[in-house]
Amino acid sequence: MLKARLEHDAVFGRCLAVAEPVQRGDLLVEELPFAFGPKRDSGIVCLGCHQYLQFGEDGDSLDRCELCDWPLCGVCAGGDDDGIHHRSECVVFSAARVTFAGNVSEDGVCTQLDCITPLRVLLAKEANPKRWEVEVAPMEHHESERRLNEDVWHADLVNIAQYLRGPCKLASRFSEELIMQVVGVLEVNAFEARTARGYPLRCLYPYTGILAHSCVPNTARSIYPSEGFKIRLRAMVDLDDGQPLHHSYTYTLDGTAQRQTHLREGKFFTCNCERCLDPTELQTHFSSLKCGQCAEGFLAPKQPTEVDTSWNCCSCGASSSNVDVETTIKSIQSEVSGVQALEMGPHRLEEAERLLRKYKSLLHPLHFIATGLRQLLIEMYGRVQRYEMVQLSDDLLERKAELCRQVLSVLNKFEPGLSRSRAMNLYELHVPLVLLAKSGFIASKLNGGELRARLVDAIDLLKECVEILHYEDKCSQEGVLCEVAKQALRQLTLSVEGLGSELD
């Protein structure tokens, strides 16, 4: 840890706080994972590089480790550096002569691989007992709460604990209680990461993992696959000495009810952050519906963290039940899911626009469903057939710019400062602004000075985008975008400098 210190809070338990005043972008914590491996409920993946592998119906495939016969791609089996991550469990499987069946459920899940990441944590415990005792053992695993979900608990007991102690012959090394503790530590604390090639996995970071949660986080984390999945935690905004550090355990662009459900079911607590306790979600009305009884009001939850809260109009006082609101939201979300499932193309874009229009009279303009549709549209305008960037009319360029501004207005509240989501939307916004400025100048709607001013605005967007993304691993999607943004920034700067010379 660099500029953070471990503290004990009456509400959050073990947590981290700022050890000295910091500015946005300052490094707070960096650490290597205690262990990492496949996500829970994954398909069949290479146990070296985590790429998805194709197995036949009988479980037969050429993509197997020559020693233990478990899934390993040819590159990793041939001595690639990623292959070393498989060596520890390879010894276990080889000694026990336990085979990999390659069975996959109808939904594409290979439960036999659920044991891999817990096993790697257990083997790391043996290799580094001091780090286990000091950093990992104290981590929350919520055994009593997890036991209440009998189906999941039983599945973990059979597929992981009993499998490792039985067929894998590890009963003398690891107790059932210890294995189930490790399963819980991973479920409650692990972070999802991606390899340099974009394949998902999960990593256990003992210090970063104990950060307290907030639906308005003040830290940003970056994981570096090129450095052994090292994580770096930075301040998103300026922070004072002693200020608690937070990150979000949820997707910040979900509504309060959706975030609370995720936290209750997956993290076993109710969030009482400022955003969750505010029916308007910091004046965004991110979960609010338009009132059916008056023209100006919006329905917001009276007690947002309560499961059965009533919804009241902030203008006329009309009330609706939580059941009615949930029914409405689920119906709309079902339609949105149908659009998201469509193949990327013009029909998908047009359907997303249609849904935005259809529910304009029902949802607050910044409602999380509307915001999600806008984000979907931002990613499609300029990238799908008939709507490629060079084909967009000025009206559609304005449309994309407005979509970006609306999403950014929400992100500025929920992810202020060094937010990757903000950076990506800043980049998306600069493109239509540049094209509109140039087309306006060509059409003599803008003079040279006005063109230069518009381009300077776009440069400012790119500068902030680069400021945020330059902390990312260069091989990540965000790191690649950072290089693209840098190039665009250089070109725009040259254009503005040329315009300045002409105007002088």
As a whole number, mean pLDDT of residues 108-114 equals 94
Q: Say yes or no to pLDDT of 59 above 60.
A: no
Pairing of strands 200-204, 4-9: unpaired
- Do you know the residue count of the chain? 504
Give the CA dihedral 85, 87, 89, 90, nearest 10 degrees: 140
336 within 8 A of 328, measured Cβ to Cβ: no
Q: Say yes or no to pLDDT of 504 above 80.
A: no
Confidence label for 58 from pLDDT (cuts 50, 70 and 90): low
What is d(CA 373, CA 339) in angstroms, rounded to the nearest whole number?
A: 9
CATH topology match: 4-33+205-247 vs 417-504: no
Q: Say yes or no to pLDDT of 396 above 70.
A: yes
What is d(CA 271, CA 268) in angstroms, rounded to the nearest whole number?
A: 10
Residue 500: predicted pLDDT: 67
Domain-wise residue ranges, the chain = 4-33+205-247, 45-198, 417-504
Confidence label for 501 from pLDDT (cuts 50, 70 and 90): low
What is d(CA 127, CA 129) in angstroms, rounded to the nearest whole number?
A: 6
What is d(CA 352, CA 381) in angstroms, rounded to the nearest whole number?
A: 11
What value, to the nearest 5°, has the Cα angle with vertex 472 and ends 469 and 473? 145
Q: What is the pTM of this model?
A: 0.91
Give the CA dihedral 460, 462, 463, 468, nearest 10 degrees: 130
Q: Give the domain 417-504 fold.
A: Methane Monooxygenase Hydroxylase; Chain G, domain 1 (1.20.58)
CATH assignment of 4-33+205-247, among 3.60.15.10, 2.60.40.420, 3.30.70.3400, 2.170.270.10? 2.170.270.10
Secondary structure (3-state) at 248: coil
What value, to the nearest 5°, has the Cα angle with vertex 140 and ends 135 and 143? 135
291 CB-near residues (< 8 Å, 6+ apart): 297, 298, 299, 313, 315, 316, 318
The rounded mean pLDDT for the chain is 94
Which of 104-108, 132-136, 436-440, 488-492 shows the lowest mean pLDDT across its residues?
104-108
Q: For 227-250, how does the pLDDT look when each residue is reduced to its tens digit (9 = 90+)?
A: 999 999 999 999 999 999 999 999
Give the CA dihedral 481, 486, 489, 490, nearest 10 degrees: -140
Q: Which residues of 487-498 are buried (b: 16+ CB within 10 A; e: fewer)?
A: ebbeebeebbee
Residue 220: CB atoms within 10 A of its CB come to: 23
